[in-house]
C-alpha cells in the first residue's frame, strides 16, 4: 500500500484515521481501515518487520520535531481575510442599523440625500440592515411579520437603492442581526444549512443589484480606517459614557462601527505620535422598540460620510439626524 510506503513508521491507528479521511468510500469505519493496515503489516514477513523497530515508536532521544512527524494531527483553522475597499473609492456614505422592517424612512432619506449632496461614490451598509425578529433567541410575538416578509422588504430596499444610484459601489456587511439567520438554520433546520439557496447573500439576491457582500466577522479596510459593525469582538464595546472610547480600548486603532445606535467619537495619540480615532455611528431605525421603549434617551439617528486620499488618510463626518435634518 502506498500509505504504508509513505508513512512506514506512523502509528497504525493514526494511519487508519488518515486513510479513512482520504478514502471514506472504501472503509466504513476506523476499525475497518485499522484492520486493513494491520493485515498488510503482518504480511510483510519477518525480514521486513525487522526494518520497523519497536523503539521507532518511542521518543527516547529523538528531538520533538522528529518525533511529531510520526503523528497525523489534523488541524482546523478558520482564517478571515479583510475586505479591502479599492483605492479609487474615496467618498463613502456609511449607514447601519436600519433593522428593516423597523426602519425609519425619514432618517434613511436624509442620510442618502446627504451622501448624494457630497458626491458619494459608494455606500457601505454596515450591518443590521435586516432585523430577523422571528429568528432571534428571545420570545417572539406571534403576530409580528415573518422572515419572508423581512427579506422581501430588504429586497425592495436594494431595488430602491440601486435604482436611485445605478453607478456607485455598494457594500453590504453583515451584523449580529443578520447572523440570526445562520444561527436559526443551524438550530431549527440543520438539514438545509449549507444549501446554497439558503445562503443569505444568495437568498437576498445581492448579485442582482451588483452589491458586494462582506461577512459578519470580516474587517473592512478603508485606507487607514477599519470599518466593523461592532459585534466582532464577541462582546459589546459598550461604554456608559462614550461607545467610541469603549471601542478604542478593544480595537486600539482607528475604527468606525455602528451597533450601539449612538453617535460618538474618541481621539488619542500613541507614544510615537501616531494619531488614532474611533467613531460609533447612529442608527436609522425606530428608537422606541418594544423591547426597549425608552431607547431614545440613549440612541440617536445618524450616519457617517468618509473621505480619504490616495495615501489612505481619512476624514470622518460623523453626523446626527434630528427631525429629518443633519446636525
* Span 99-135, pLDDT tens digits: 999 999 999 999 999 999 999 999 999 999 999 988 8
Higher pLDDT, 140 or 286: 286
Using left for φ > 0, alpha for ψ between -120 and 50, and beta otherwise, residue 256 falls in: beta
With respect to residue 77, please indicate whether it lies within any of the assigned structural domains. Answer: no
Residue 50 grid cell: 525487522
175 with 306, same domain? Answer: yes
CATH code of 137's domain: 3.60.21.10
Residue 141 grid cell: 410575538
Q: pTM of the prediction?
A: 0.77
106 with 210, same domain? Answer: yes
For residues 325 and 309, the answer to whether their CB atoms sit within 8 Å is: no
Last residue of a domain, one of 37, 68, 99: 68
Residue 59 pLDDT > 60: no
Residue 65 grid cell: 520535531
pLDDT of residue 8: 74
Angle, CA 167 vertex, CA 162 and CA 173 arms, to 5°: 55
Asked, as a colleague might, if the bond just before 101 is cis with ω within 30 of 0, I would say: yes
* Secondary structure letter of residue 131 according to DSSP: -
124 with 185, same domain? Answer: yes
Rounded-to-integer distance, Cα 17 and Cα 31, Å: 9
With respect to residue 76, please indicate whether it lies within any of the assigned structural domains. Answer: no
Tell me the pLDDT band of 82, cut-offs 50, 70 and 90. Answer: very high
Q: Of 127, 84, 303, whose CA–CA distance to 231 is shortest? A: 127
* Secondary structure letter of residue 5 according to DSSP: H
Rounded-to-integer distance, Cα 221 and Cα 85, Å: 6
Task: Name which of 44-53, 139-148, 246-255 the model is least confident about.
Answer: 44-53
235 with 95, same domain? Answer: yes
Q: Of 114, 88, 118, 159, whose CA–CA distance to 301 is shortest? A: 114
For residues 72 and 18, the answer to whether their CB atoms sit within 8 Å is: yes
Greatest Cα-to-Cα distance within the chain, rounded to the nearest angstrom: 90
With respect to residue 27, please indicate whether it lies within any of the assigned structural domains. Answer: yes
The domain of 198 spans: 83-326
Distant-in-sequence, close-in-space partners of 57: CB < 8 Å, separation ≥ 6: 9, 11, 70
Tell me the pLDDT band of 244, cut-offs 50, 70 and 90. Answer: very high
Q: Of 306, 256, 246, 298, whose CA–CA distance to 281 is shortest? A: 256
* Average pLDDT for the chain: 85
Amino acid at each position: 500500500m502506498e500509505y504504508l510506503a509513505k508513512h512506514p513508521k506512523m502509528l497504525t491507528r493514526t494511519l487508519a484515521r488518515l486513510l479513512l479521511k482520504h478514502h471514506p468510500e472504501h472503509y466504513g469505519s476506523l476499525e475497518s481501515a485499522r484492520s486493513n493496515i494491520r493485515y498488510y503489516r503482518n504480511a510483510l514477513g519477518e525480514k521486513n518487520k525487522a526494518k520497523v523497530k519497536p523503539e521507532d515508536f518511542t521518543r527516547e532521544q529523538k528531538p520533538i520535531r522528529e518525533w511529531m512527524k510520526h503523528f497525523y494531527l489534523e488541524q482546523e483553522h478558520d482564517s478571515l481575510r479583510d475586505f479591502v475597499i479599492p483605492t479609487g473609492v474615496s467618498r463613502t456614505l456609511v449607514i447601519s442599523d436600519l433593522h428593516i422592517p423597523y426602519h425609519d424612512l425619514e432618517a434613511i432619506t436624509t442620510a442618502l440625500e446627504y451622501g448624494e449632496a457630497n458626491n458619494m461614490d459608494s455606500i457601505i451598509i454596515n450591518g443590521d440592515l435586516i432585523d430577523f425578529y422571528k429568528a432571534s433567541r428571545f420570545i417572539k410575538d406571534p403576530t409580528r411579520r415573518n422572515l419572508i416578509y423581512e427579506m422581501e422588504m430588504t429586497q425592495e430596499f436594494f431595488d430602491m437603492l440601486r435604482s436611485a444610484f445605478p453607478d456607485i459601489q455598494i457594500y453590504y456587511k453583515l451584523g449580529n442581526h443578520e447572523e440570526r439567520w445562520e444561527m436559526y438554520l443551524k438550530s431549527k433546520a440543520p438539514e438545509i444549512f449549507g444549501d446554497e439557496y439558503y445562503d443569505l447573500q444568495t437568498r437576498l439576491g445581492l448579485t442582482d443589484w451588483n452589491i458586494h457582500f462582506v461577512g459578519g466577522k470580516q474587517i473592512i479596510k478603508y485606507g487607514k480606517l477599519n470599518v466593523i459593525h461592532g459585534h466582532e469582538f464577541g462582546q459589546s464595546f459598550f461604554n456608559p459614557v462614550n461607545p467610541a472610547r469603549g471601542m478604542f480600548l478593544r480595537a486600539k486603532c482607528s475604527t468606525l462601527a455602528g451597533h450601539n445606535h449612538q453617535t460618538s467619537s474618541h481621539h488619542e495619540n500613541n507614544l510615537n505620535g501616531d494619531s488614532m480615532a474611533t467613531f460609533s455611528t447612529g442608527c436609522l431605525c425606530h428608537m422606541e422598540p418594544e423591547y426597549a421603549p425608552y431607547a431614545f434617551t440613549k440612541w440617536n439617528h445618524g450616519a457617517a460620510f468618509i473621505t480619504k486620499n490616495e495615501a489612505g488618510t481619512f476624514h470622518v463626518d460623523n453626523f446626527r439626524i434630528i427631525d429629518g435634518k443633519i446636525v
